Amino acid sequence: MDKDRIEAVLKETRSFEPPEAFRLRARVKSEEEYEAEYRRSIEDPEGYWGEIAGELEWFEPWQKVLEWNPPHAKWFTGGKTNVSYNALDRHLATWRRNKAAIVWEGEPGDTRTLTYHELHREVSRFANVLRRLGVKKGDRVTLYMPMIPEAAVAMLACARIGAVHSVVFGGFSASALAERIKDAGSEVLITADGGWRRGQVVPLKEAADEAVRETGIVKHVVVVRRTGQEVPMEPGRDHWYHELVEGVEGEAPPEPMDSEDPLFILYTSGSTGKPKGVLHTTGGYMTYTFHTARTVFDLKDDDTYWCTADVGWITGHSYIVYGPLLNGATVVMYEGAPNHPEPDRFWEIVDKHGVTVLYTAPTAIRAFMRWGEQWPMKHRLDSLRLLGTVGEPINPEAWLWYYRVIGKERCPIVDTWWQTETGGIMITTLPGAHRMKPGFAGKPFFGIAPEIVDGEGNPIREPDQGGYLVITKPWPSMLRTVWGDPERFVNQYWSQYPGKYFTGDGARRDAEGYYLILGRVDDVINISGHRLGTMEVESALVSHPAVAEAAVVARPDPIKGEAIVAFVTPVGDVEPSEALAEELKAHVVKVIGAIARPAEIRFAAALPKTRSGKIMRRLLRQIAAGQEEISGDISTLEDRSVVEQLKKGK
Ligand code: WT7
């Protein structure tokens, strides 16, 4: 938890009304409208969500909107539908048939536009290909892709035939990929010969090959040609995407899916070493992402919407692919880095494609601030009308910069709090309805019932008190389980406060009902909006032969939000050195991926432990943050000299 940020939020008393020009056209136009709809959504959730789901197409109607046997929720039971049908076919009978669905820009500057008609054809073709490879409803298909249209095509093709996709972020290492393939039991992997990042080719196929070797269960690897570089192709196992789809029919009947049939698995970090396969299902996820996307981003048919996330994260699933396409929106997709070839790439893209709604992360905004105002100033940015942020808490300074320099004080900002597990946006301001307070996420979305509780689970009703953030009612896109580990689902989310969903975040609510997210209260850290478990990094470190013991904590970082500091005890005869520190950093990158690279390794002869042997992380966090005076109780510390050593042990 970053105390400086929280202090800054509380000191920043300015608030900002939604610009009048925006409000007049907004979907939700006032606080009163929001209040009325919110009340209805809470008092009659079945009526409310039934009405929203009814705007989408169902092959067979549901019998019951909600069956709630805590912690198990079923939404739209008995209903049959298909998400790809709703995201594509539903638009083909309308004028949207020839509307741009995906406007893609590659890092080298190449572009492609797919209309809904074309996207439907591509998805159907690839759905047929997958069926021919033997993929059936319920089978898991892993994707390890760059940000190219085929990533969205492959996701939608899986959804079309009822296969469960598991997208693994292209920045993860071969061994992280292997672990996820094995856990999901995927026999099919979809990847590419590479992708572009800062002018370099990301060698996805190489990592994919290594992962496939390690798992021994993958039968087919489909490879999209993106960079054109030579990659080895294993006969019988590896297939070029363009060869598979050639001449294949562009119509594929969508599989009728039960509302509770799985749609996808997405792995995310928790407080143990092993990532969790968060499972989302069909009807509820579809309904919730459809409704949040249009409401929070105020989507209109003439919008050009750009979410800068990667499809490897939940943001990419819900707000690049599913939510916007379910609404028939035009979605911009960009392959590469924000500062390639120059730090104004994003602003160039905004002007080039006429982006109206931009959704990005605080870490990106802080990097733009550092690069300087001159870069956005080179561009008009006058197509923008709404800005969003997601992934981590935003500091008021970054909020105000975004508002002034990018939005020119014309564009409302939505600071959207949610999680992989929640499937969709849970707390935010609504852009035409709510006054904005920099640093506060805002108010609950329709149907969402947050609560702040103390350690015993008692609701804290007075304003401005910190506590744990829980959700007291089920919502359509909540995770249904942890893949292959139903106990972990119950233990992780529903056991702290029975009957309530535990978010893992701390929060406080002000007198007007605005939520301020304080940050994680568990062993999850947030680096540039990417979630990592401290235990994951620790187990990567101890897998190195020179490491006896490791403890990982986060320290506040001005750009990334948080950075990793690892305290390491080397094995007996190993001398700590700068070279070893570098080697260990590279080792973590190899085991997990570049996002997990420790910013700092500190060697110590021993780690501070309580007399019962528990590592004192609170103490390590203080040391990592450079605090001279260690506060709090250290009376249980076994060996006090350790603290002095660690402070020095750079
Ligand atoms: C964690 C979830 C949801 C998409 C990306 C991250 C933090 C997320 C905000 C926000 C403060 C935020 C929370 C949350 N977080 N959005 N607007 N303000 N914190 O998804 O990887 O599942 O991480 O990200 O700590 O628990 P995720």
DSSP 258-293: ETTSEEEEEEE--SSSSPEEEEEESHHHHHHHHHHH
Euclidean distance between CA atoms 372 and 417, whole angstroms: 27
Residues 179-236: pLDDT tens digits?
999 999 999 999 999 999 999 999 999 999 999 999 999 999 999 999 999 999 999 9
Q: How confident is the model at residue 637 (pLDDT cuts 50, 70, 90)?
A: confident
Model pLDDT, residue 564: 96
Residues 111-164: pLDDT tens digits?
999 999 999 999 999 999 999 999 999 999 999 999 999 999 999 999 999 999
**Amino acid in position 469:** L
Model pLDDT, residue 307: 98
Model pLDDT, residue 396: 95
Query: 526 C-alpha vs ligand 1 centroid, how far in Å?
Result: 8
5 lines ligand 1 (CB under 6 A): no
* Section 41-57 average pLDDT: 98
Which residue of 2, 289, 322, 417 sits with most ligand 1 atoms within 8 Å of its CB, as the best mutation to test the pocket? 417
303 lines ligand 1 (CB under 6 A): no
Residues 2-21: pLDDT tens digits?
788 899 999 998 999 999 99
Closest by Cα among 135, 317, 313, 369 to 239:
135
Query: 365 C-alpha vs ligand 1 centroid, how far in Å?
Result: 16
Residues 594-630: pLDDT tens digits?
999 999 999 988 888 888 888 888 889 999 988 877 6
Query: 418 C-alpha vs ligand 1 centroid, how far in Å?
Result: 5
* Section 571-580 average pLDDT: 93
Return mean pLDDT, the chain.
95
List residues bridging with 69 in a β-sheet: 72
pLDDT at 650 over 60: no
Cis bond leading into 71, ω under 30°? Answer: yes
- Sketch out the chain's domains with CATH numbers: 20-82+264-517 (3.40.50.12780), 83-255 (3.40.50.980), 524-647 (3.30.300.30)
User: Residue 190: helix, strand or coil by DSSP?
Assistant: strand
Lookup: tokens for 15: 């608030």
Model pLDDT, residue 1: 64
Q: pTM to 2 decimals?
A: 0.96
- Contact status, residue 460 vs residue 453, Cβ threshold 8 Å: yes
The separation between the first and the last C-alpha atoms of the chain, rounded to the nearest angstrom, is 23
Is 480 annotated as a binding-site member?
no
Model pLDDT, residue 649: 58
Query: 100 C-alpha vs ligand 1 centroid, how far in Å?
Result: 30
Is 520 annotated as a binding-site member?
yes
288 lines ligand 1 (CB under 6 A): no
pLDDT at 646 over 80: no
Which residue of 526, 527, 528, 562 sits with most ligand 1 atoms within 8 Å of its CB, as the best mutation to test the pocket? 526
CA torsion through residues 573, 574, 576, 577, sign: positive
Q: How confident is the model at residue 248 (pLDDT cuts 50, 70, 90)?
A: very high
Euclidean distance between CA atoms 327 and 432, whole angstroms: 19
Q: How confident is the model at residue 527 (pLDDT cuts 50, 70, 90)?
A: very high
List residues bridging with 265 in a β-sheet: 166, 279
Model pLDDT, residue 292: 98
For the residues of 202-215, what is the DSSP string, one character each? E-HHHHHHHHHHHH
Euclidean distance between CA atoms 508 and 408, whole angstroms: 30
Is 626 annotated as a binding-site member?
no
> CA–CA distance from 113 to each of 99, 326, 444 (Å)?
10, 18, 35
Neighbour-count burial of 618, counting CB atoms closer than 10 A to its CB (0-12 exposed, 13-18 middle, 19+ buried): middle
**Amino acid in position 530:** H
* Section 30-46 average pLDDT: 98
CA torsion through residues 122, 128, 133, 134, sign: positive
Residues 463-514: pLDDT tens digits?
999 999 999 999 999 999 999 999 999 999 999 999 999 999 999 999 999 9
- Contact status, residue 202 vs residue 310, Cβ threshold 8 Å: no
* Section 291-307 average pLDDT: 98
Query: 220 C-alpha vs ligand 1 centroid, how far in Å?
Result: 34
* Section 279-283 average pLDDT: 98
Residues 379-396: pLDDT tens digits?
999 999 999 999 999 999
List residues bridging with 195 in a β-sheet: 202
